[in-house]
Amino acid sequence: MLLQVAASPKGFGKSFTAGAFFGTVCRRGHACGLFEGTAEILGGGIAQVFADLPNGKITVCKHLLFIAGGVGLAPLRSVINYCRRYRDRYGRIDIVCGSKSRADLLDYDEIVNEWAKDDNVHVHLTVDRAEDGWDGHVGFVPAYVKELGFDNDRVAVLCGPPVMIKFTLNELLALGFSKEQVYTTLELRMKCGVGKCGRCNVGAKYVCKDGPVFRLDELETLPDEY
C-alpha cells in the first residue's frame, strides 16, 4: 500500500486516531482517496505524529484554533479528535476549514454532524468560489481568518498548502499571536513520508524526519522554501 502511494500522488497526509493509521492521498490538487490501516504498516518510520501535540507541545493555553486548507485537514483531524476525546482539558475550540469546493471538503459529514455539535466547538467552513448548493462562506482561508478576527488567547495549529500557510501566518501575527503560539505542519511537502524519496527538504531539514510539525519561531530559522 505505501509503495503504491509514494509512487503516484501529489500529496500524502497521515494521521492517527486511537491507534488507527489514516492516509489521505491527493492527486492533481484534489483529495481522491482515504485509506485506513494500522500503525504497524509504517512501523517505526513515523518519527513524530501530530496527534501527540496536545500532550506535548501544546501546553501554553487551553483555547485552540485549528486552521486547515484542503487535504491539510487530514493531519489535523487526529489532533482535533484527540481534543474532542479529552474535551475537559481544553477550552473553546475553533476550527477553520477551507477547500476549493464543497466536494473537496474532507470529512464534511463528520465536521457537520459531529464536530460542530460538540460543546464549545465552533466550525467555520469556506470554499474558494461560490457554487450551487453552497450557502456558506466563500473566500480563501487567510482572508476568512482575518474576517473572523480570533482573539490571540489561544494556540493556533495550521496545515494546508504552503501559500495558505504563509498568508495565514501573516494574519495571525497581525491579530497579535506570538510566534510561540503558532504551530504548523509542512506535511504537504512530503511524498513518501518515511525518509526515502528525498523530496521534502527545507534547507538541511527533512520535513518527514525532522518535523513535520514546527512552531513558528522554529520555522523561521529555516530557509524560506516552505
Neighbours of 5 (CB within 10 A): 18
* Residue placing its CB nearer to ligand FES in the complex, 87 or 196: 196
| Segment interacting with ligand FES (CB under 6 A) among 54-62, 98-106, 178-186, 199-207 | 199-207
Q: Which of 62, 148, 195, 215 binds ligand FES (CB under 6 A)?
A: 195
Site for ligand FES in 57-86 (CB under 6 A): none
| Segment interacting with ligand FES (CB under 6 A) among 89-97, 115-123, 129-137, 187-195 | 187-195
Binding of residue 205 to ligand FES (CB under 6 A): no
* Residue placing its CB nearer to ligand FES in the complex, 139 or 195: 195
The rounded distance, in Å, linking the Cα atoms of 13 and 144 is 24
Q: Among all chains, which residue has been given the C-alpha cell 481568518? A: 145
Q: Which of 35, 179, 197, 218 binds ligand FES (CB under 6 A)?
A: 197
For 15, what's the count of Cα atoms within 13 Å in the CB-facing half-sphere? 23
Q: Among all chains, which residue has been given the C-alpha cell 470529512? A: 107
The rounded distance, in Å, linking the Cα atoms of 123 and 94 is 6
CA torsion sign, 173 to 179 to 180 to 183?
positive
Query: What is the closest distance, in whole angstroms, from the C-beta atom of residue 187 to ligand FES in the complex?
Result: 10
Radius of gyration over alpha carbons of the chain, in Å? 16
Binding of residue 202 to ligand FES (CB under 6 A): no
Q: Could you list the residues that contact ligand FES (CB under 6 A)?
A: 190-193, 195-200, 206-208
